[in-house]
Amino acid sequence: MRTLIFKTAAPYLASLMILFSIFVLLRGHNEPGGGFIGGLIAASAFAIYGIANGVAPVRRAMHFHPMSVAAAGLLMSTISGLVSVFAGVPFMTGLWGSIYFLGEKIKISSILFFDIGVYLVVVGAIASIALALEERERE
């Protein structure tokens, strides 16, 4: 798939998809969307970039190994479930707080961090499988 058009378009397409995936992730806080679907979109972005420019640039762009990203996500989700021990409520209970940012009240919850964890798990796991498959095709 090394056509000039695709190769030129792929970086823009991939960055747009990643941006959109973060939008979907944050939108999932109160509306349809969320970590899983956002993670899938981001993983497809990496896959497209990999098809266009080869796997090595993607691995460089991700900086961390995909499996480490997935592990960090799982760790984050588990910890956001565990923090409820300090509030005296059962495992995985949502805890809510709010911060003021630029005069705007923003609600932050442990659920949000759980969802970001899910996002990272999906990005890492799916990207590592997709990259593994793309690498083999070229051998």
Q: Which stretch binds other proteins (CB under 8 A): 10-18, 19-27, 51-59, 92-100?
A: 92-100
Gap between the Cα atoms of 43 and 21, Å rounded: 9
Separation of alpha carbons 49 and 61, rounded Å:
10
Identity of the residue, 11 or 68, whose beta carbon is nearer to other proteins in the bound complex: 68
- Of 6 and 74, the one with the shorter C-beta distance to other proteins is 74
DSSP for 72-111, please give it: HHHHHHHHHHHGGGGGT--TT---EEEEEETTEEEEEEHH
Backbone phi and psi for residue 89, each to the nearest 5 degrees, phi listed first: -120, 160
Q: In the stretch 21-60, what mask flags binding to other proteins with x, by CB under 8 A?
A: ---------------x------------------------
Contact residues toward other proteins (CB under 8 A) are 36, 67-68, 70-72, 74-75, 78-79, 81-82, 85, 88-94, 96, 107, 125-126, 129, 132-133, 136
